Structure formats: C-alpha cells, structure tokens
Structure 1
C-alpha cells in the first residue's frame, strides 16, 4: 500500500502553532514604540518589558519537558495554546490602567504568557522525533523553526497597521481571538503516530524504519508510567555531564541571542535609529524576516541532502550552522552606512544566515536520549532562551548609556561568532546519547 503523508500535515500544524506563539512576542515589539510613549518608558525599562516573557519561559522549560513526557504532546501543548491566547486578551485590557500600574500588570501577564508557552518548542522537538525518520528531521525541524521569521512576515505588517489605525491594545485582542481558533484546529489535527485516524501502516513502517520514535505517545492523554520519563535532578545532571549536549546548549544560547534581537529591538531600531514610521516599520521588518524564513527552510533541506549524499551526521548538521552564523555577521556593516536600503540589505543577509544556521532543534532530535526527549528539549530551550532575558536588557542598557545601537549590533555579532566556537571545538561528533537512569530502590534490575 502506498504510504500516506500525514506527517506533512503534522509539521504544517507545528509551523502554524509556533508562528502564533512568536506572533504573540512580535506584537509587543511592534507595539513597543507606542507602549513606551503611552507608559513613559526609557530604553532600559522597555528592555525589561521585552524580557518579561523570557523569565518565566525559561523557568518553565524543565517542568514543560517533564509534563510532555508524562502526559503527551497533544494535551499539554493544546492547554498551552488556550492559556497564552487568554493572556494576550488580558494584556490589551491592561492598557486601561494608569501608566505605572499598567507597566507592572503587563510585565506580570508577559511572565505568565512565557510560562504558558514553555511547552511549545520542546513539544515541537518531541513530535518531530516521533513523526519523522532521521533523514527528514532536518527539513521538518527547519519548517517549524522558520515560524519565528514567518511570524514577523505575517504579523509585523498586520500589527503595524492595527497599531496605527486603532492602538496597541487591539493588537493583543486580535491575537487572543485567533489563538482560540488555533486551539480548535490543534485538537483535530494532532494525534500520536499510531493513533492518528488518517495514517496507514505503510507510513508508520516508513517512520519506524527511519528511526522515528513512534511509541513515545502510545497512551495519548494519559500519564506515562515508569521512572525513565520523570523529571529528576539525576536526569538533569546526566544531561549536563555530556560535553556534546553542553556545546549544543551553549550554541543555542548564542543563536537565540540573534532571535531575540530581531523579535524585540529590531522594530525599535528601525524606528529610532533609522527614523521609520510605525507603518513603515511593520512593512520593512517583514522583508528581512522573509529572508529568514527562506533561510530557515533551506538550512534544513541542505542538511538533509548532505546526509542523503553520504556525509556524516556531524558534517551535515554543522556545515549549515557555521555557514549561517558567518553570514549573520554581515549585520555589522549597518554601523558604517546611513543608507536605509543598504541597512535593509545587510539585515536581510544576516536574517537569512541566522535562519540557515538555526538547526538546534534538529540536532536535539538527533541526539536526545530516547527516554528523555521532552526533558532534554526543555533543558536545551531553557539555556537557549536565557538569551531572551539577557538580550533585551543588555541592548536596552547599551542604548540607554550610549544613545546609539552601534554597540548593540557589535554585541549581537559577537554571539554569532561564539555559536561557531560552541559547535566546532566543543560539540564534537553528533550522535544519539545513551543515558541509562538508575532504577528506583527496590525495583529489580
């Protein structure tokens, strides 16, 4: 029987859900100019507001990974979508408070939203590891990872237009309503591999023969039994004791620094440093993001083709990462020109490179211990998204102290170079980690 192609529908759903998750973050950056004006915020305070999401997002990664391994991806992820959509609606209503109170309320709501969205990318990695054979994971992971760029392409012009004609509060109401629609489709599309109503046995066999972990969500919606998928300090210590994984975590922190520059300060940079209107910012921000989307997908396709051509997994994953980060360094040229079109060209090259090299989730799907996929994905995303805390604050401090974005671009470029160091000398050979957790006392070996 000809295999079905249900896994392509699955990755399309992951792309949509991730794009909406990033759309929630993009809304604050596009509305940042209006919010800073209405709430009388300087650059450093705006940086703290941008970082609010990431404090709880980081703190929620390990619990989210444990919940995903215990209760399954569909249930945990679906609840996440509903919660962040509700919180987006509330951010809009917070704008009616006096300025001092509104800042605190929005910061707290962004904290909660970060916690609510913490299962998204560990869930994506877990679903891809389950639904895709190893030779297709690069492309699949690149597709859902490209959502962070597509979110700017899709939402930046819409948010810029809404903010211009109505106000920043309406941006969050718009996202909240769309989020509930997304949650409905999630429940209809996402299932475990062997329980999906549209899949046939030929596709299941294709996935399993290629290394897909089709059994990780057999009991969909029910707690999984056994110590192997529990969140314990022993499991965390074993993951952090592996040099290859530590190098991957460090590389993700550096790459995510670029992500958070583009998601938070990039629209403000265009407005304040390049003197663009809010509507023009929404349109112009979409152009480099479109390049990032293309680069993100091409990076995964290139990696999988290198694998198909007979190159080692290590070479196939590392080459696009290193090449992408070298291309991202071109943004430093923005410090040496006053031409808006040249600035947008350089940022488009940098965004393309950042997308091309963003294969961290592919590498995690390739390397995670089979019983700790959710937890390892959570730890990976926790360390990576520490950049979501540090990047907005560091850039805000630099801009406040210098009155210029030049130092901020130097900071971002330096982290791109550090990502290359992490993946070349530290990571070493890329391969599946075999960690055997100790049996609980009294259990037979």
Structure 2
C-alpha cells in the first residue's frame, strides 16, 4: 500500500463512528439481575423439590409448611442488621460475603438424609438450614436497592428496580422446568448441588468486577455525570481516602433516627403494601407447585413447566410496571402518580387468583394464576418507591426495614396455608386468603400519601 493510500485509510478510520458502548450501569444491572435470579432459585428450590423431598424424608403437610416458612423467620429478623452492615461497609463487600454463605447453606441441603435419619431430625436440620439461608440472603435486596440508588438517575430507577425485582419471576420461569427435570431424572439432591456451583461462580465474578460509579474503571466521565446530575447518589459506597469524594454522610442509628424513620407515614404505607405483594410471591414460590400436584393431580415433571407459565407473565408484568412508571415520569406525571397508578392496577389484577375457586378447569385455573402473577408483577414497585423516599444517610437501613415488614408474609403465608389445607383438605380457603392481599395492598398505597424523599431533621 502506498503512503497516500495509507494516509487515506487512516483518515477514513478517524471518521468511522466508534462502536456503541454499553453503559456500565446496564452491565451492573445485568449482574445483580443474574445474582437475584440465583438468589430466588435458592429460596424457591423447595417448592419444586418439596413433594419429592416430603415423600423421601417422610414430612407431614404441616411440617412442610413450617419448613417453607423457616427462610422468612430469619430473613425478616436479619434485615435490620443486614441493612446496618450495608450502610457501614457498602454493597460490594457485604454482598460478596452474603453470597458465599448462602451458597454454602444451599449446597448443604443436598446432604440431608444421606444416612438413615429420623423424620424429626431431618425436619430440624432442613429447618435450621433454611433459617441460615434466610439470614445470609437478608442483605441481597437492600444491596440491590443501594446499587440502584448509586448507579441510576431517578428517571431510570423505576426500570432498574423493576428489572432486578423481576428476577424473582425469571428465576421460576427458568429454573422450575430445570429443577423439575433434575428432580425427576436424578433426584432432588442434585438441584442443590447445581445451585451451589452457580452461587460460587457468581461470588467470584462480583468480587472481581464490581465497584462504585466513581471508582469503576469502565465508567466514562459522560456516564458518571449523567448518573450524578440525574439524582444518582454516586458516592454512596465510595471508599474513604484515596482522593475520592467523601463517603455519603450516614445518620447515626440512635433513638432520634429511629423515631424519624418509623414516624414517616409514607414508609408505613410501603411496609403494608410490600407485605401484601409478598404474600402472593410466597404462595407462588412455596405452595403453588404443591397445589398443582396435590390439588390438581399434575405430575412433578408437568409441574416444572406449568409453574413457569405464571412466572413468565410475572416477569413481563414486572418489566412493564417499571417501564410504565418511568414513562409516566418522562411525560410529566408526578412521581406519586407514576409509581402508584401501575401499582394499583397491577394489584387489582392480582386479586383474580381468588376466581380459581369458581372453576374445576385446570386450564382456566392456570390462566387465572398467570393473570394474577402478571398483575402482581406490574404492581410490585415497592423497591422503586423505597429508593425514591429513603433518606440517603440511612438508605440501606430503610430498605432493610421495608424488606423485613414485606417478608413477614413469608412467615405467615406458608404456615396459614399449611394449616388450612390440612384442616379443610383443599386449597379453597388458602386461595381466598391470598387474593385478599391484593386489596390489602391498595390500603397501603392510600396510607403512603405523596411520594417524596424523606429528610432528617438535625439531631
């Protein structure tokens, strides 16, 4: 090639547009989405393996209900210390430590009953392991909210929180058929082995790649400014020293702080609505597959695929709710309207689960369950609302408090359903109980009042 041709080629290369670069915040969101998918696969693994495990180890229906609820007992109790740890040490370190520990506990379930074990001992061991799983997973969703607060401007945060929140539906859609097939072909123990391998791989990836927006080497100055100027709290997890901006000031967790947090009407509305939303979630990730086996007579292999249908629509509804909310904001609607309108419409649709009691058609029942879960997905904007209203000085503590109240439903719902099914011999009362929570969520939205960020008075 001649010098003139080389020079021309160089000029052409200079004029050629650069390849579009995926913003780093979207890769961060993809990572927490994948981790949350595995997180929910871990906590819902017993819903698919429950019938097989129950038959293998000899559990009663009530014992299985208590085992289903064990996760939430510890998950709720550990929320507040988990949130405090996040505010003290940041999401990167706490999330990594949490992920390793919950993966170890998940893997340990595969060893229960390998040697002949009395039923009561097996129940106790699995109950304790599920308690530990709940404790170790407790920082996960507050950490997701903290990452979204730091990495996303306000106008994108509804979509961001909807995406990581929709991972719970995607987890069921993806893993229910896989876990059903593995249980059918190889036995329930291998489900927990698979989840253990995935968890350790994700922990290594998180530690190697994750950082704060200010310090992440992949973040361009333009992206950083877009996040910062749009309301992202970019220094929420910035380390002290090293020339970086100071760490976000944290409120002292004293009596005055607690009074201000728990006196906020908006937060009590969030607590109540999140409890109601999670009641539907816990029905689907605990008793729904058992209902299909015991109440509708489906095989375990069929259940894995049927259980995925509501989850797929829940995933779509979750994304739709977040995109609708952010779209309303861009069109000039108030933050209150943008968050509440999709929430109210979605939770009204969720009450359709009660209509399953009015038909014997399995096809229609699955269709109604799918509609209910789709509506629940649209209405599940609690995490977006929390990131909108939480004071930055105690953002993770407030998120953890919301998650604690919300996941109290994981204690109540599995136990109530276990007792009602054993007492009545059917799921009729249980389905009305779950449907009523769609209306309870509307009460929470009314209590919430206008959505705006809470500010602390000087202590």
Same fold flag (TM > 0.5): yes
Q: Closer, same or farther in 2 for the Cα pair 1:29/1:4, shift >3 Å?
A: closer
Give the aligned partner of residue 71 of structure 1.
Answer: 89
* Structure with the greater alpha carbon radius of gyration: 2
Is 1:293 aligned to residue 315 of structure 2?
A: yes
Distance 1:65 1:37 in 2: 38
Tell me by how many angstroms 1:14 deviates: 1.0
| Structure 1 counterpart of 2:105, from 87, 90, 94 | 87
Correspondence for 2:50? 32
- Counterpart in 1 of 2:144? 124
Deviations 1:168-194 (A, max 9, x none): 111111101111011111123321010
Note the residue ranges of structure 1 that are not aligned, 5 or more in a row: 439-445
Distance in 2 between the 1:419 and 1:104 partners? 34
> 8 Å contact 1:69–1:230 — kept in the other structure?
no
1:175 and 2:195 equivalent?
yes
**Equivalent position SS for 1:194:** coil
CA change 1:221–1:360 in 2 (3 A) is farther
Which of the numbers 205, 217, 224 marks the counterpart of 2:225?
205
* CA distance in structure 2 between the aligned counterparts of 1:146 and 1:393, rounded to whole angstroms: 25
Q: Is 1:161 the counterpart of 2:181 in the alignment?
A: yes
CA distance in 2, matches of 1:18, 1:423: 26
- Structure 2 residue 209 is matched with structure 1 residue 192: no
Query: In 2, distance between residues paired with 1:188 and 1:352?
Result: 36
Q: Is the 8 A contact 1:3 1:202 kept in 2?
A: no
Of 131, 150, 160 in structure 2, the residue corresponding to residue 111 of structure 1 is 131
Deviation at 1:252, TM superposition (A): 0.4
State the distance in 1 between where 2:50 and 2:96 align. 28
**What's the CA shift for 1:336?**
1.3
Q: Is the 8 A contact 2:235 2:248 kept in 1?
A: no
The alpha carbon displacement at 1:100 in A equals: 2.2
Residue 301 (structure 2) pairs with residue 279 (structure 1): yes
1:139 Cα offset (Å): 0.3
C-alpha deviation, 1:337, in angstroms: 1.2
Task: Write the deviation string for residues 70-122 of structure 1: whole angstroms up to 9, x where unpaired.
Answer: 10101100111111111111111123251321111111011111100000000
> Which of 311, 329, 342 does residue 333 from structure 2 map onto?
311
Name the CA distance, whole Å, in 2 between partners of 1:395 and 1:310: 43
Match of 2:14 in 1: none
Contact map agreement 2:238 2:247 (CA 8 A) in 1: no
Against the structure 1 CA distance between its residues 34 and 234, is the aligned structure 2 distance closer, same or farther, given a 3 Å change threshold? farther
Q: Following superposition of structure 1 onto structure 2, how do residues 19-418 of structure 1 map, counting pairs within 5 Å?
A: 19-97=37-115, 98=117, 99-219=119-239, 228-418=250-440
**Deviation of the 1:37 alpha carbon:** 1.4
How far apart are 1:372 and its partner, in Å? Answer: 0.7
The 1:225–1:217 alpha-carbon spacing in structure 2 relative to 1, beyond 3 Å, is: closer
1:433 aligned onto 2:446:
no
Distance 1:306 1:296, change over 3 A: same
Cα distance in structure 2, aligned partners of 1:363 and 1:3: 30
Aligned residues of 2:236 and 2:248 also touching (Cα < 8 A): no
Aligned residue-pair number = 436
| Aligned residue in 2 for 1:442 | none
Contact 1:22–1:148 (8 Å) recurs in 2? yes
TM-score, normalised on structure 1?
0.95
Distance 1:227 1:298, change over 3 A: closer
2: CA distance between counterparts of 1:233 and 1:118?
23
Residues 225/366 of structure 1: CA separation in 2 closer, same or farther (3 Å cut): closer
CA distance in 2, matches of 1:37, 1:235: 50
Displacement of 1:227 in angstroms is 7.8
State the shift of 1:410 in Å: 0.4
Q: Matched residues in 2 for 1:259 and 1:226: separation? A: 34
Cα RMSD over matched residues? 1.8
3-state SS of the aligned residue for 1:195?
coil
Inter-partner Cα distance in structure 1 for 2:111 and 2:240: 36
